[in-house]
Amino acid sequence: MRVPAVNLVGPGRDTRGVGSSRGEREWLELMSDLLGAPSTTFPEKPIAEQLRRTFEARGVAFSDRSGTAIAQRMWPVDEQFNGHRAEIDRYAVTESAGGHPVLRCYLSTLDATPLQVHDVPEAFADRRVMGAWLERASRWGAAAQVALPTYFAADGHRVFVLGRVDPFTRGELSLLHVLHGLLVGLDRQTAALRSVAATVDTAQATRLTVRELTVLGLVADGLTATAAARRLAVAEGTVHKHLQNIYRKLGVRDRLGAVLRAQHLGVLRSHPRAIRGR
């Protein structure tokens, strides 16, 4: 697929090469492929590998916490970080909440936007905490780290962490903010698909596609077409097209009828929320 070069970062920014047409094209192609092929599994591996290439990171970790359970996966899988790989894997699970400057900031504020260690306010990581972190991470060869969350809340998180020797530049951080919006949309799409996966077999009897079922579920939750489009990171017109297909397949004329028909067929559970619009 050929994608025209687009400056994702903006003019006049130092990007260490990430603003090149090649780098931008790779990201546009990857996100187009991922958003165009809905899945119930978040594609952390191809994203991590592209992040590592784009930002010349020594390694990229994906931290996934649900409740008290924490899992971390790292790319490249064979990177040993100066012989400290086992220590890093253990630290991520047992110590990071209290010792990693960025995670301390996130847990205190729940303001999960891209943030690098060097930019964490002292209120969340004082000199003692920051000094201990830099001393430890320097041994790993990855003291400069930036976090890129796709989801962060009190009940869990999903966060990419990029590590290398040199701090990230303003241009690189600008690009990370652009990618953050795209990856949050992809994460939401994946979560929405997972929430309806159990009803896919039933939906097949109505010939509803997975994407149509996802849109129907969001409408049943009370979202407007505009809100559903934002949640799925697609155009509002795409949502309306899915709705028209849903009406045709279920033999109804509006959103309320579609939700009621789907509930009757067992495709959707009962939803008490108001259905907005047509």
Burial 26-51 (b: 16+ CB within 10 A, else e): bbbebbeebeeebeeebebeebbebb
Flag whether pLDDT at 269 surpasses 90. no
Q: What share of the chain is helix, strand, coil (3-state, %, to 5)?
A: 55, 15, 35
Better-scored residue on pLDDT, 202 or 226: 226
- Backbone φ and ψ for 72, nearest 5 degrees, come out as -135, 135
User: Tell me, what DSSP letter sits at residue 198?
Assistant: G
Class assignment of domain 195-265?
A: mainly alpha
Rounded Cα–Cα distance for residues 33 and 85 (Å): 32
Rounded Cα–Cα distance for residues 86 and 202 (Å): 45
Rounded Cα–Cα distance for residues 85 and 140 (Å): 8
Please tell me whether residue 64 adopts helix, strand or coil conformation.
strand
Is the previous residue joined to 76 through a cis bond, with omega within 30 degrees of 0?
yes
Reported residue count of the chain is 278
Neighbours of 123 (CB within 10 A): 10
Question: What pLDDT sits at residue 200?
Answer: 59
**Which of 24-28, 81-85, 272-276 bottoms out in mean pLDDT, i.e. has the lowest?**
272-276
* Residues 121-139 pLDDT 10s: 999 999 999 999 999 999 9
Please tell me whether residue 163 adopts helix, strand or coil conformation.
strand
| Residue 63: strand pairing partners | 72, 159
Out of 3.40.50.2300, 3.30.450.80, 1.10.3210.10, 3.40.50.720, select the CATH number for domain 38-168: 3.30.450.80
Angle of helix 44-55 relative to helix 21-36, nearest 10 degrees, comes to 170
Flag whether pLDDT at 226 surpasses 50. yes
Q: Within the chain, which residue ranges are assigned CATH 3.30.450.80?
A: 38-168
Neighbours of 274 (CB within 10 A): 7
Q: Within the chain, which residue ranges are assigned CATH 1.10.10.10?
A: 195-265
Flag whether pLDDT at 259 surpasses 60. yes
Rounded Cα–Cα distance for residues 141 and 164 (Å): 6
**Which of 38-52, 172-186, 261-275 bottoms out in mean pLDDT, i.e. has the lowest?**
261-275
